[in-house]
Amino acid sequence: MNPALIVSVFIVASCGLAYELIMAALASYLLGDSILQFSSIIGVYMFAMGIGAHLTRYIKDKDALSRFIEIEILVGGIGGISALLLFVLFGFSAAPFRSILYGLVLVVGIVTGMELPLVMRVLNLRQVEFKEVVSRVLTFDYLGALAVSLLFPLILAPKLGMARSALLFGILNTVVALMTARLFKSSLTRYKRLCLRGNLVLMLLMGLFLYANQITMKAEKHYFGDPVVFQTASPYQRLVITKWHDDTRLFINGNLQFSSVDEARYHEALVLPVMEQNPTVSNILVLGGGDGLAAREILKYPQVKKITLVDLDAAMTKVFRSSAHLRQLNNNALNHPKLQIINADAAQWLEKNQQKYDVIIIDFPDPSNFSLGKLYSVPMYRMVARHLNPHGNIVVQSTSPYFAPNAFWCIVTTLETAGFKTLPYHVYVPSFGEWGYVMANTDGKFTIPDYYRVPTRFLDADSTKAMFAFPKDMARRNVEPNHLNTQKLVEYFEADWRIAMR
């Protein structure tokens, strides 16, 4: 059996799975709901591969080799530009994005599904025993799938990003086509034409690979409105920072996390009321908050001796520790000697760690998918309770009680189901509208501050009093708690925002 064709099978399998992973990840970045996106895209892709495999029955044996080369060029071209095309389309107009996304998944899946049947036929026509063909081809197919499933999240996505990763695999597909054509030159009647097509596609893909970052930056500028000054794709999320005059904004997976114009309202409301519950607090835990803005507020209190900040994404904490402008926003909090950064999954870290804290501040992204929803669950909050000192307090960022009321009150109910007493409150942040928080402890003793022992930009006695009063249209709702098995919070969150966006 020709070793070159076996290597081709390995590369082909890697590329086929890569396009599937890239488009699913890109859809989850831009559309949210990662489980739905991955599930539906994998389903459509597998269905399309079945169509492609069926279509190969109409290819004559004498044409199998040339059709395989043509298919590789086609897969390389379409699959290679798929992510870049989706970025550009989403940046300039999100309206047709979903239709074009699934159209691309269908097309790439069909042509990918034609590859292995054609390889098997090419090998079989060269008098290779059928059982040998099947065992070798499928073995290297599965090995290729394993290789890319490990490389993609660990190296390719964080180092190259989605667009350049897809282009890289497109280049590999096209190289396979050209190598196969050269290897079987004597068997091909259209050798020069195939090489011309392959080289044109290869040059196009290599050119786009070189300029992919500039193209995506321009597309993101249209999508985010303001100039993009930083963007990266970590293994966990896509981070984009924009800046227009004095307004710096952070977006995670396309969702606004803060605007420097009004973030003081959000972070003072998150941190200061819970810090005022006990004037002697000294050991603080922050879960999330990798931008350092919550830590900035905590460090206003001189009695604080230690802050432990646990954030999953090292890319987030790195940029907010190193950028001069971002350090100015957080007062260089992430480089403060009192603060320790731990890049780890918060739930796993809590499970292994035995330390107890006076205050625990939970500042996770909104529960827009199941991986985030678990961080707002009954088991998570019970684990948090085990890390709280006697008479300690926690506070949880809890989405909007106005736009997502069922989700907000679900968080309250979940905390109470986990054994906490709760004190919900809210504040108006212009960038977000009404935003909610829940303070909680195990003894039910709360004090609404009428003054603050630290300087503030927003909070005072009157604004604080207003935070703890809920008007009729944000009144408590009868909702279920968020258990890991049901993840009702994600369901509430999606339904609430779907209604709010109408």
pLDDT at 218 exceeding the cut of 80: no
Provide the mean pLDDT of the chain: 88
Residue 440, strand partner residues: 394, 422
Alpha helices, DSSP H, located in 364-469? 370-373, 378-386, 405-417, 461-467
Q: 299 or 190, which is more confident?
A: 299
Distance CA 189, CA 66 (A): 9
Using pLDDT thresholds of 50, 70 and 90, give the confidence band for residue 118: confident
Name the least confident of 87-96, 276-285, 335-344.
Answer: 87-96
Give Cα separations from 331 to 141, 387, 492 (angstroms): 52, 28, 36
Residue 219's contacts (CB-CB under 8 Å, 6 or more residues apart) are 87, 88, 90, 91, 92
Residue 73, pLDDT score:
95
Mean pLDDT, to the nearest integer, of 402-431? Answer: 96
Contact between residue 136 and residue 2 where contact means Cβ atoms under 8 Å apart: no
Q: How much of the chain exceeds pLDDT 70, in percent?
A: 92
Residue 224, pLDDT score:
65
> Could you tell me the two tokens for 116?
């292995």
pLDDT tens digits, 328-367:
999 999 999 999 999 999 999 999 999 999 999 999 999 9
Residue 26, pLDDT score:
79
Residue 304, pLDDT score:
97
Residue 4, pLDDT score:
67
Q: Which residues are catalytic?
A: 363
Residue 225, pLDDT score:
65
Radius of gyration (Cα) for the chain, nearest Å? 27
Name the least confident of 242-256, 369-383, 406-420, 462-476.
Answer: 242-256
pLDDT tens digits, 163-197:
899 999 999 999 999 998 988 888 888 889 999 99
Most confidently modeled range among 247-251, 449-453, 482-486: 449-453
Task: Tell me the Ramachandran region of residue 449: left when phi exceeds 0, alpha when psi lies from -120 to 50, beta otherwise.
Answer: beta
Kindly state the DSSP code that residue 154 receives in the 8-state scheme. Answer: I
Number of other residues whose CB lies within 10 A of the CB of residue 444:
10
Residue 202, pLDDT score:
95
> Could you tell me the two tokens for 469?
């009063």
Contact between residue 363 and residue 397 where contact means Cβ atoms under 8 Å apart: yes
Identify the structural domains of the chain with CATH numbers, from first to last: 3-222 (1.20.1250), 259-500 (3.40.50.150)
pLDDT at 263 exceeding the cut of 80: yes
Query: What one-letter code names the amino acid at 79?
Result: G
Closest C-alpha to 9, from 172, 191, 153: 172
pLDDT tens digits, 46-89:
999 999 999 999 998 888 889 989 999 999 999 999 989 888 88
Cα-to-chain-centroid distance, residue 418:
28
Distance CA 307, CA 337 (A): 9
Predicted model pTM: 0.73
Distance CA 386, CA 48 (A): 49
Number of other residues whose CB lies within 10 A of the CB of residue 52:
24
The SS3 call for residue 480 is: coil
Using pLDDT thresholds of 50, 70 and 90, give the confidence band for residue 162: confident
Query: Regarding beta strands 238-244 and 228-233, do their DSSP bridges make them parallel or antiparallel, or are they unpaired?
Result: antiparallel
